[in-house]
Structure formats: structure tokens, C-alpha cells
Amino acid sequence: MIRYYHPSLLFAVTTRTVAGAWLFDPVLYPEFGPAFHAIMARAQKKYRVAIYAYFAMSNHYHALYGAPDSDTMADFLCEVHAGMARYANRVLERYGPVFAGRCDVRPVVPGDKILPQLLAYIMGQAIKADERWTLDNWPGANTNRALLYGEPVVGRHFNQHQRTLDGRRVGGPDGDDKYTTEPEVELSVLPCWKHLSESEIRAKYQAVAAEAVVRFANRGAVQKHEIAEQSAGLVPAVPPTPPPTLPPKSPPLSNEAKAAMLAQRPRPKAATEPSDRKTKKLPVYADTQAEAERFMEAYERICAAHAQAREDLAEQTRLALLGQEAKAVLFPLYTFPAVARTGRLALELGLAAALGEP
């Protein structure tokens, strides 16, 4: 699927570490939280992406973003993910890829139902992972306290590059305080709540937090932590339970018995009514299935126009290589062209397209 970024859409982003390894464990490495906040803040200042919420776990992170065009979103994600990977490799003294391939980016059609649901899922990551954590005490990078209580999201960035350069001069580098800054992440309010007052917005966030607690209660994956604590001697190890005594094996069935069992097996009921059919899960978040289907119809038109533009570009490139006159090829707005980027240029030229139009 091609990636289509319209300014009216939001985007739910998820990315995981290689093999699900706990490379971002904030309990063992508490510096990950302030560092990731700083990476977000510096990338946001550079590309002006709207950040609504994010939550970094030990092996993945979830976020909700908004961007004016595809180029800005791509540059922002590259800056954030590359920064997180470089920092993790430096702290863990490792090298190689940190994230398992491309991140999952799904468009979100803004609505009063889907946005709070996605926000509840992002905010409830800690209690989903382990019953020891609450919504506001996870030590890793997250925006929960900022959303619930209005606290600023402040990171900590250490300019190692500048310190290395200053180390080459006579007298050596200055103190670490000179190379340390505390950039702040600017959080945006969900589009469905922008018209509310500050107290009403805070109440909405707290209601979403309560929904997250109910949604993820008693779903903590505590087994991994119990194993880690037992190996560290923090809790007494539970003696293993002896395996149950298995009954003796039955003699193999005859062919006649197998045929009789197959004949008695119930047949699945044919789905004759539309309600019997399983609802197809679409790669877009929306309030209703109908809105998601309308988006996918428009998206298919965008894909067809994008495919035709690729074919036209290949033909015009062939003509140019043969020394003949070639024409420019226009790709659909808010998509990734095959060669040159057009999203940011389209904004500078005052061009625009409605949602779903090529």
C-alpha cells in the first residue's frame, strides 16, 4: 500500500524493536525517559508535527501524530526513530538495527469516538504490561501526566558532538552543564476537544484514563517480571510442579472408526445473511465502519492515480534516456512520489486537495 497523508487526518504510529527485545527498559536505564522526550521535542521543533500522545514501552512505542504533508511526517519519523535507535545503541553499547523494519502508520479519521479509544489504548500501556504500574508512574517516556495534570513534558539532551569538538581545543571541553539542554514537547489537543476549556479538556483526559484502567485491568503480563525477580533473588522461587501422570495410550483407530467419526463431524453453516459474515478489518481508524469504507474507496482512487503516475514516469524517463522530449509527471497530492517530493512544494504553491481526491 502507498502512504497517503492528508492534513485533515491523524496517524497512529507503532514500531517495535528487533525480535521484541527489551532495548528500552526504563527500569534498568532510567535515562531513556528524559532522552526520548528530548528527541521528540527537538524533532518537533524542526518539523512542526502535532504530537497528541505517545508511550514508550520496553520493546515498542505507540504515538498519535498529525502533520501538514507527507514530507514533514516522513522526516519527523525518521528523526525520532533514528534518534531513539542511536541513543539505545550508545547506552547499551551495541550496534546494528534497533527497530524491526518499517513502523506501522495507520490513518485516523478524526471523530468523537475513535480518538478517545486510541488515546485510552496509548495511555493504558503500562498497566497492560504489568500490574505494578499505574497510569502516572511509568518511568519511561510517556505523556500521561501531562495529559492528566497539565505537567510539562521536559526532556534532557546532552550535546555529545559539541563536547567532542571542544575536547580538541586547548584546555579541553567545558563542564557538562554547558552541553545539557532541557527541550520541552508541545502537546496538541485532540481535534474533537479543541473547542473545550482547559478544565473540560483535563476532565476528558481523566475520563479516558479511567476507561483505560477498566479496559486493561488484570491483563498485566507479570510472568516475565516474576521470572526476572526470581533470578535476581528478590522473591523466593516457586518449586516446580511435578508433571501429571499420563494415562496409557489408546490403541489406534481402525479406518472404519475414523470414517464414522468424520461422518458425524458437524458441518459449518454457510453464511447466507450479511450479518453472518465476519466484518473485514480495514487499515484505517474511524468512528464507524461506513466512514472507514468511504475512506478506503477514496484511497483506492488515490492508489490508481499513483500507479498511473508511476507508469507515466517510467515512460517519460525512457523518452529522456533516448534523447527525446519528455514531459513532467504529476503525482497525487499528499502521497510519496516515485522520485521527487511534492507535498511540501504543493503547500508553498498554495495547492490543495480535498480528502480522497488525487
Return the residue matching grid coordinates 525517559.
33
* Amino acid making up residue 256: E
**H helix or E strand, kind and range, residue 15:** strand 10-16
CA distance 125 to 77: 21
| CATH code at 10-231 | 3.30.70.1290
**H helix or E strand, kind and range, residue 11:** strand 10-16
Q: Which of 248-252, 264-268, 271-275, 289-293 has the highest mean pLDDT?
A: 289-293
Full-model pTM: 0.76
Q: How far is CA 278 from CA 104, 233, 273, in A?
A: 24, 49, 11
Range scoring the smallest mean pLDDT among 78-87, 150-159, 283-292, 345-354: 345-354
CA distance 72 to 223: 41
Residue 223 has pLDDT above 60, yes or no: no
Rounded to 5°, angle at Cα 170 from 166 and 173: 30
For residue 99, the SS3 value is strand
Q: What is the pLDDT of residue 4?
A: 80
Strands (DSSP E) contained in 57-175 are 60-66, 104-108, 153-154, 157-158
Which pLDDT band, with edges at 50, 70 and 90, does 183 fall under? very high
Mean pLDDT over 69-85 rounds to 92
Q: Helices 32-47 and 70-92 meet at what angle, rounded to 10? A: 150
Q: What is the pLDDT of residue 102?
A: 87
Mean pLDDT over 151-180 rounds to 87
Residue 36 has pLDDT above 60, yes or no: yes
The dihedral built from the CA positions of residue 70, 71, 73 and 78, taken in this order, carries a sign that is positive
Phi, psi of 269 (to 5 degrees): -75, 135
Which residues, in sequence order, are bridge partners of residue 335? 4
Q: What is the average pLDDT score of the chain?
A: 82
Could you tell me the residue ranges of all domains in the chain?
10-231, 289-348
Q: Which of 357, 351, 347 is nearest to 70 (CA)?
A: 347
